[in-house]
Amino acid sequence: MADTTPSPEPGTGKGYGIQVAYRTLSVRADEKQTTSKSSLDPADAISSIDVHMLSVDEVYARYSSHPTVGLELAAVRRRERDGKNVISPPPTVYWKKGLNYIFGGFNFLMWIAFILTILSYKPLGPPLPFVLGVAVLLILVIIISATFYALVDWNASRIMKSIKSLIAHEAAVIRDGNSQIIQAADIVVGDIAVLNAGDRVPADMRVVQASSDLRFDRSLLTGESEMVPGSLDATSDNALETRNLALTSTFVVQGTCHGVVFATGDRTVMGRLVKMSGETKFKLTTIQKEVWFFTKIISCLALFFFCLSILLYGVWLRTTYPGYDTPSTAIVNSIGCLTAFVPQGLPICVALSLTVVARRMAKRQVLVKNLATIETLGCMSVLCSDKTGTLTAGKMMVENIAFLDDVFAVEEINERVAKASDPAVFAAFKALHQIARLCNGAKFDATTNHLPVQDRTIKGDPTDTALLRFSEALSIPELGVDASTLQQSSEKKFEIPFNSRNKWMLSVVSETSIVEEKSVQSTWMLVKGAPDILFPSCSSVVQSDGTVVALTSRARQAFATLQEDWSSRGQRVLVLCRKPIQEFKTGLAPNDLEDLMYSEMCDLTLVGLVGICDPPRPDVLPSIAVIRRAGVRVFMVTGDFKLTAIAIARQVVGIITQHAVDTIQDVRAAASEKVAPKEYYLIKPSDDDPIRSLVLTGEDVASLTAPDWNVIVGTYTEIVFARTTPDQKMRIVEEIKARGDNTVAVTGDGVNDAPALKAADIGVAMGSGSDVAKEAAALILLKNDFASIPVAIEMGRLVFDNLKKVTLYLMPAGSYSEFMAVLANVLMGMQLPMNSYQQVCYCITNDVIMSISLMYEQPEWDLMQRKPRNARTDRLTDWRLFFHVYLFYGLMLWPCAMGMWFLYMRQQGLGFYDVMLTFSNWGDGWKGFTIDQLTEFVYVGESIYYVTVAIGQYGTLLSVRNRRVSILQSNPLWGPRRNLLVLVGMTGTVLICIVNLYGAGFQRVFYMRPIPGMFWGLPFAFALGILLVDETRKTIVRKYPKSFIAWLAW
């Protein structure tokens, strides 16, 4: 690594104590400075930052730190009193949330109804107890709904916070001369933080050491997605623009650096910006948007019919049939239009669904940053998965070592050396050990150094971690192979960290050795990386006895064959090379040094090959099988060698199932023959197409044209993309998204996966992955549990499915049967068969209590065998749903309820035409009845209509529980789809009816009346009839899936 201050390995003790002379003074100065700035306005505080203008030595002096020792523990304890390194969340404006609860959803219609009812009570009409009772009921509805929304929102937020608390943000720091991994919240001012590619910057820090390729992602801070180079010197007076500051919540996407922390928590730039930005903005989820759109349509219809009803009264009924209705009665009756169209249970069920989802995700320790992610997962049609750390466990182990003339399994190295007559025949292990240990970006956590090598904590990527464990454990005294001795005699001068573009890592080290009692220093350029990238740069090769010979074409072919053999067994293959450097110029700038090293990348000596295995996650194979049955195509997108990727995809995880695998040549041949459809959304494989497999390399991806992509996305079910760069991964995602109405999910864990995770519709990161990947993802699997992905897909589909069922259940009774009662009163001149109280009460009690049970329905047996939902065309409410509401379920329910009204009137001696078109004739003496008798007939008839609608909905509830399956195979009482809440809801709705009909207060205020026994029994027969008709429909759909009835099915 290129540093302004070349430093020895932490812990060696070199240079300890240099800063002691000014430590006490600087602590006092720092305390004074902190106190003076704490009262500044956030914007002024940011503009007053000056640490970037100081020299590196001045930075160490100001914060009492040291490049190799860091902070002493006493200083850490003293500075911990300043508080945790945690940014306080933006304040919540509770009065705005309260207003949203009170007036949101359908509540604003309830407010309109309430105000109009109060006006009908006084001054528009006589102060009747009934009108006042309806007003009280409406305000209770508003209060209960608002309270419910608040409770559900609070509960969902509480669950989400508990999940987020499971994420352990860690940081590597140097304290007391040791490298330690601590909680990011425990960082204090003056700490020296060590950052590698993929790390989140845990606090504001001044860069004091940096590799030449250091790059930051500041998109969270600036909104710009371009990588920002890091530097040691100030590039701007502005703290937000200069490149020698690493700011909280930005990321290291390339290179490595050390930084001195100068601000933590709310005193960081991000903390001050959060304070300036105010409250968090509320965002609707996808389903909430759909329901809000539906709410607006329904509300407009309700207001339209309410205004039409009032207009008909004012223009027609009041003049043509004087005395038929008073202004007060007309308003109260017309309120039924407002309440009838309102499926009050829908917003409640949406809110409830979010809580159910949050709770189930919490159980699986899955962090969902936005609950909309779950809904989007239900639409997933393509899953692009990284290999290492995602499909595989990311716990790499060195398995094989190969020199030009010998191959070793790791476990047999010591045994073979011990048995050799002369250990010097294996002298090449000394050079291989040097490269594996020193050309390595991983580091042990000093606090775990007392543990066995296999149990120590390591910070670094999986490949470096495997090599570090191997090199630390490898000890061959006969050859002088020992890790601790090697470290003490070596000093790192320069480093180019591994990145996914170069696919190699380079380190320059100076090594001191004793030759004939004299200290001799040599400088080596050590390189490790992908064989196909580094082979062309090699001109010589080391044999197992340490002798160096020319790298002939025959030797190259032998290594290439060995690489193919190991790769076909699923191993990652690395080549280790080195080159002596006569003179290393330390005074050059980092970028000039990097250019110099690039020019030296020739005539390397190939030391050996290393084969690294990475076991698959045990849950991947069955999970991918479930995902594919759900109609989701699974592609592998990896930076690994092509043969390694295919071996893993075929033998281990089941992504490739076909024997024949097509290549770029097959794609080009098909592209030249195939005529692409005019619309991109039509480019997708047909159900009748055979399963075809394809493998493409990054080089292939770079050369693909639009017709090639049409063939790839529209033809292949199984694809492996190998040797891809981050930019190519992102392009793959974007090309797939652009075709076939695909909803693309990406899984990954590394820095190189971050661009693709951001570009995807749903990014899924592993909990053990890099900070960059976790920030870019929308969903984090905290337990690295790949099996959570099919569960999340199922949950997304289930939420949508259940909300559709809720909508289908609520509409026939609410916006149809109730509205028909108002319509008959206004246009047909008959008495209102269901009064305003009954309509409001039914909407907010009977309907809600039964609809909630639908949100707890288990998945139908075929839910994960259906095609993915098309997010563009498959809406929550479509014409098929409205067809079933108004021309199927509703068309059976309201005639039954109206028929019961006329049947009761017939029993009292009033025929159809004695009730219909009576308008103002309905009065004292009509058909020989007094007005009191007629009024009593109406009260009982209204109660009959109410009970018929409530019990008749049993049939609708049991029908919509299943889209295609018969209730005989999927009943609510037992079996896999047992849902006793259905029984609870049905019992509850009958109890509500009984309380309403037989409660003395309800009879006195709301004119509820007991009804004859037969009118309790007949509605159950109607419910059974609705269920049987729907069972017949489902039978036709199952038996004739191509029929007209099946085409109409919701």
* Structure tokens, 588: 């050059």
* Structure tokens, 732: 């793959």
- Residue pair 749/741 in contact (Cβ under 8 Å)? The answer is no
How far is 93 from 87, CA to CA, in rounded Å? 18
Name the nearest CA neighbour of 199 among 501, 492, 442, 6. Answer: 442
How far is 804 from 960, CA to CA, in rounded Å? 9
How far is 506 from 598, CA to CA, in rounded Å? 10
- Residue pair 967/958 in contact (Cβ under 8 Å)? The answer is yes
| Positions marked active-site | 386
How far is 749 from 753, CA to CA, in rounded Å? 7
How far is 370 from 662, CA to CA, in rounded Å? 39
Q: Give the number of residues written for the chain.
A: 1050
How far is 632 from 747, CA to CA, in rounded Å? 14
- Residue pair 605/546 in contact (Cβ under 8 Å)? The answer is no
How far is 962 from 651, CA to CA, in rounded Å? 39
- What are the Cα distances from residue 103, in Å, to 5, 18, 463, 892? 63, 66, 56, 34
3-state secondary structure 783-849: CCCCCHHHHHHHHHHHHHHHHHHHHHHHHHHHHHHHHHHHHHHHHCCCCCCCCHHHHHHHHHHHHHH
Q: Look at residue 561 and give its three-state secondary structure.
A: helix
* Structure tokens, 433: 């050990």
Region of residue 74 (phi > 0: left; psi between -120 and 50: alpha; otherwise: beta): alpha
Cis peptide upstream of residue 618 (ω within 30 degrees of 0): no
| 34 Cα distance to chain centroid | 39
Phi and psi at residue 67, to the nearest 5°: -60, -30
Query: What residue ranges in 868-1014 does DSSP mark as E strands?
Result: none
The answer for residues whose C-beta is within 8 angstroms of residue 76's C-beta and 6 or more apart is 175, 188, 191
By the 10 Å C-beta count (0-12 exposed, 13-18 middle, 19+ buried), 292 is classed as: middle
Nearest-Å Rg of the Cα atoms of the chain is 37
How far is 188 from 649, CA to CA, in rounded Å? 46
Question: Could you write out the DSSP letters of every residue in 17-85?
Answer: TTTHHHHHHHHHHHHHHHHHHHTS-HHHHHHT--GGGS-HHHHHHHTT--TTT-B-HHHHHHHGGG--S
Report the half-sphere exposure of 248 (CA within 13 A, side-chain side).
25
How far is 821 from 808, CA to CA, in rounded Å? 20
The answer for residues whose C-beta is within 8 angstroms of residue 750's C-beta and 6 or more apart is 198, 386, 388, 389, 461, 769, 770, 773
How far is 659 from 944, CA to CA, in rounded Å? 69
* Structure tokens, 25: 């003074």
Phi and psi at residue 313, to the nearest 5°: -65, -50
How far is 373 from 364, CA to CA, in rounded Å? 16
CA angle 443, 448, 454 (to 5 degrees): 75
How far is 331 from 122, CA to CA, in rounded Å? 12
